[in-house]
Amino acid sequence: MKVALLGGTGFVGSYLVDTLIEAGHTPRLLVRSGSEGKVRQAARCEIVPGEIGQPEAVAECLQGADAAIYNIGLIREFPKRGITWEAMHYTGAVTAIDAAVRGGVRRFVLMSANGVKPGGTGYQSTKYRAEQYLAGSGLDWTIFRPSVVFGDPRGQMEFCTQLRDEMIAAPMPAPLFHEGVWPGGAGRFHMSPVAIENVADAFVRSLDTPASHGRIFPLGGPEALEWREILRIIAAATGRKKVMLPAPVGVVRAVAALLDGFEWFPVTRDQLQMLLEGNSCDGREAWALFGIEPIRFAPAALGYLRAEQ
């Protein structure tokens, strides 16, 4: 099967390429200028030069494909550089979906995110709107909503590596964020970290699973863990013990209101809001359908954190 992959050079995309090839498929990648060196197993891929903002290049990427995967996403937008959630999560997805409809590519798989909703943050609402557009397209679609994804970053940005560098390795105590003044709920919000290998397997196995058509699957690891437990596990994986202290998020939010327009500031108000909302979900329906044994979020699965130090 030839699979058009939009978003194939980043963290998740690199694993999708490897898993597609391992399953006997041929990835057909849309690759912007300057990113050619990021393509995994380039000799076994078909490369189409271009960007998601170029409808002609998107149409060319989907030409002759049997299925399409839309995997373009941003954790943070940079409007001054024209890098926005609206452009990447929604407009780009619409461009690809429309190209699939016109080109007769019936199978379409969308990378969304756990917690998407109308009226949420810009990140959440643009992904939700892309889901709605795909659901009304008439294609044989599947949508995946992962929680936070962990795994060897291969030089890319990744959840655990970022927390290790910004919180665990830092000299100050790790923050246990909480709303309000009273710290009783500090660091008690939950996440369901999911292994990148499991996510890639779900995407690729769905291509040949008609029972996944027209369905939305949360992808979460086998346990929903509190923030403070996630930090403890990451610290243990790096051979450290980390002091943690309650941190009222209102203080950080106030500073972010002044500075999150600058790229050097590490966190935005939207990121803080989504963090405090938590990010837990039950992935058992997907794991059962696709025959996947989910990997536990534990120090043994995070060996790459120590290897990179």
DSSP per-residue codes, 177-217: EESSS-GGGTT--EE--EEHHHHHHHHHHHTT-GGGTTEEE
The stretch 36-51 carries a mean pLDDT of 96
Q: Tell me whether strands 215-219 and 140-146 are parallel, antiparallel or unpaired.
A: parallel
The DSSP symbol for 143 reads E
What is the band of 308 on the pLDDT scale with cuts at 50, 70, 90?
low
CB atoms within 10 A of CB 216: 17
pLDDT for 258: 75
Amino acid at 72: I
pLDDT at 266: 74
In the predicted structure, residue 106 carries a pLDDT above the cut 80: yes
- Residue 50's alpha-carbon distances to 29, 137, 149, in angstroms, are 10, 24, 27
